[in-house]
């Protein structure tokens, strides 16, 4: 049964009935999700799941704890409230614990598309049939995922806070495999009609075909064109450092660097849940409205984000980026929007005398958390550029690169686009051309 605001309110009224705590909060959410998975040019999995759950947090004195259940009968609701109160009484007092926030005003965002919520298995199967047809046309093997669904989340507390948001979700991802090469493409959106699976399948197929029989090149520093997915998976390791608690605890690469010019003049980044290409609820895990926050302006670290407790510690105001309490992370910007430019990837290629085009990266790990040096490998379409043209595919390379240095060496940027990768959360980011990107070793494929 779909979670509506009315149903969520009814569930919370039962939570209040059984909670005798000083303060009570409930996060009530539901998912309905369907997925069709294919590999070796055939569908091998089709699943659908629905779920609903309630997570109750209580405050007893200066103690707080949370308990959760996916059963909503009267006995289970009573038991989850009793469990939360029992756990709270076992906790040490938290002298920094703040009262729960009261009623808030939220800006509405419409991210629910009925056609996406109602997408049938037959429609997903037809998309897969077309994708496999594209693969077989050129002797390739296709694998990937088509999925769709809807989510609803709500947050209520005994001080009058009432927040509810629902949206649809969809994803298409495909890898095209040839004997010596591969290509990949992926997109996500609240609106399934925005995905264009045929175009994505064609892009992945062309990357596999054009990178066949890849050649080796020597490791070193190159001018590199990073497609948006590669940009995203690198930036994903940077923006958890833009949380106030991470700076307060001196585990952020921005510790001691607020207000400094750390990146190139052309780097402008904000957190903006209201951007038309973004997704998610307009409130955070504490129930506060999410604010637009400028993170980087003209290469200068301008702001970080704050949960309520972190803001109190640091003598500032919360920005609506907290996670549900209790947690050890504090906050993070989760709706990254990076400004871009007007150059197309083709423009970037034409401007490159010698360099590389990188489709995406994978198996990324952090080497130096303060300089934000990452290591990982290219994958699914890496190309050699010479005299303004793509010449051939190259065998994948391991990189060893500081994200801070990378964002200081951006020479060209394209239009920002909603982007999905495999190593980080979705963002709105552009393709970029970067000078002196460092590759440390070769791989065999």
Q: Are 292 and 270 in contact (CB under 8 A)?
A: yes
Q: Are 169 and 148 in contact (CB under 8 A)?
A: yes
Q: Residue 279 is encoded by which pair of tokens?
A: 């997704």
> Other CB atoms closer than 10 Å to residue 289's CB: what's the count?
16
387 secondary structure, DSSP code: T
Residue 10 has pLDDT above 80, yes or no: yes
- Tell me the C-alpha distance between 428 and 438, whole Å: 25
- Tell me the C-alpha distance between 309 and 254, whole Å: 20
On the CB side of 111, how many CA atoms lie within 13 Å of its CA? 28
List, for residues 226-262, the tens digit of each pLDDT value.
999 999 999 999 999 999 999 999 999 999 999 999 9
Q: Are 326 and 66 in contact (CB under 8 A)?
A: yes
What's the mean per-residue pLDDT of the chain? 97
| 5-198: CATH number | 3.30.2290.10
pLDDT band at 35 (very low <50, low <70, confident <90, very high): very high
112 secondary structure, DSSP code: -
- Tell me the C-alpha distance between 106 and 269, whole Å: 23
246 secondary structure, DSSP code: H
The full DSSP string for 150-207 is EEEEEEEETTS-EEEEEEEEEEEEEEEE-SS-EEEEEEEESSGGGS-HHHHHHHHHHH
> Whole-angstrom distance between the N-terminal and C-terminal Cα of the chain?
48
Give just the sign of the alpha carbon dihedral 72, 73, 76, 81: positive
For helices 197-210 and 121-137, what crossing angle results, to 10°? 30
Strand 354-368, strand 220-226: pairing: parallel
pLDDT band at 445 (very low <50, low <70, confident <90, very high): confident
Residue 83 has pLDDT above 70, yes or no: yes
Q: Are 338 and 268 in contact (CB under 8 A)?
A: yes
CB contact burial 148-158 (16+ within 10 A = b; e otherwise): bbbbbbbbbbb
Closest CA to 378 of 325, 295, 438, 290: 438
pLDDT at position 443: 85
The full DSSP string for 323-381 is PSSS-SS-B---SEEE---S--HHHHHHT-SEEEEEEEEEEEEEEETTTTEEEEEEEEE
Residue 209 has pLDDT above 70, yes or no: yes
pLDDT band at 444 (very low <50, low <70, confident <90, very high): confident
- Tell me the C-alpha distance between 367 and 365, whole Å: 6
List, for residues 91-146, the tens digit of each pLDDT value.
999 999 999 999 999 998 999 999 999 999 999 999 999 999 999 999 999 999 99
pLDDT at position 1: 67
Residue 111 three-state SS: strand
Residue 363 has pLDDT above 90, yes or no: yes
CATH 3.30.2290.10 occupies which residues in the chain? Answer: 5-198
Strands (E), 17-60: 23-39, 42-60
List, for residues 412-431, the tens digit of each pLDDT value.
999 999 999 999 999 999 99
Q: What is the pTM of this model?
A: 0.96
């Amino acid at each position: 049964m779909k979670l509506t605001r009315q149903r969520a309110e009814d569930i919370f009224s039962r939570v209040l009935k059984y909670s005798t705590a000083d303060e009570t909060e409930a996060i009530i959410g539901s998912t309905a999700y369907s997925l069709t998975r294919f590999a070796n040019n055939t569908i091998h999995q089709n699943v659908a799941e629905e779920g609903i759950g309630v997570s109750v947090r209580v405050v007893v004195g200066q103690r707080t704890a949370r308990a959760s259940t996916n059963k909503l009968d009267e006995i289970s609701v009573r038991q989850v409230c009793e469990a939360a109160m029992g756990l709270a009484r076992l906790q040490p007092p938290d002298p920094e614990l703040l009262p729960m926030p009261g009623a808030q005003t939220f800006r509405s965002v419409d991210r629910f598309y009925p056609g996406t919520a109602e997408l049938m298995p037959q429609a997903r199967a037809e998309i897969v049939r077309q994708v496999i047809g594209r693969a077989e046309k050129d002797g390739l093997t296709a694998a990937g995922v088509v999925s769709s669904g809807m989510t609803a989340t709500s947050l209520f507390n005994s001080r009058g806070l009432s927040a509810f948001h629902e949206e649809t979700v969809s994803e298409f991802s495909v890898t095209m495999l040839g004997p010596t090469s591969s290509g990949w493409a992926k997109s996500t959106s609240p609106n399934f009609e925005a995905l264009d699976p045929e175009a994505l399948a064609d892009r992945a197929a062309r990357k596999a075909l054009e990178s066949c029989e890849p050649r080796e090149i020597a490791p070193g520093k190159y001018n590199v064109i990073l497609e948006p997915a590669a940009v995203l998976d690198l930036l994903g390791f940077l923006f958890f450092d833009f949380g106030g608690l991470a700076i307060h605890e001196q585990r952020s690469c921005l510790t001691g660097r607020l207000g400094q010019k750390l990146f190139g003049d052309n780097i402008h980044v904000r957190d903006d849940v209201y951007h038309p290409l973004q997704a998610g609820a307009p409130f955070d895990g504490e129930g506060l409205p999410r604010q637009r926050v400028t993170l980087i302006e003209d290469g200068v670290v301008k702001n970080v984000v704050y949960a309520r407790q972190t803001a109190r510690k640091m003598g500032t105001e919360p920005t609506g980026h907290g996670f549900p309490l209790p947690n050890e992370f504090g906050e993070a910007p989760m709706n990254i929007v990076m400004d871009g430019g007007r150059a197309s990837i083709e423009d970037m290629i034409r401007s490159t005398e010698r360099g590389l085009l990188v489709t995406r990266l994978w198996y990324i790990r952090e080497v130096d958390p303060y300089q934000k040096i990452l290591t990982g490998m290219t994958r699914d379409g890496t190309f050699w550029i010479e005299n303004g043209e793509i010449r051939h595919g190259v065998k994948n390379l391991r990189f060893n690169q500081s994200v801070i240095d990378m964002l200081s060496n951006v020479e060209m940027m394209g239009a920002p686009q909603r982007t999905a990768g495999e190593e980080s959360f979705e963002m709105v980011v552009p393709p970029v051309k970067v000078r002196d990107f460092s590759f440390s070793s070769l791989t065999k494929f």
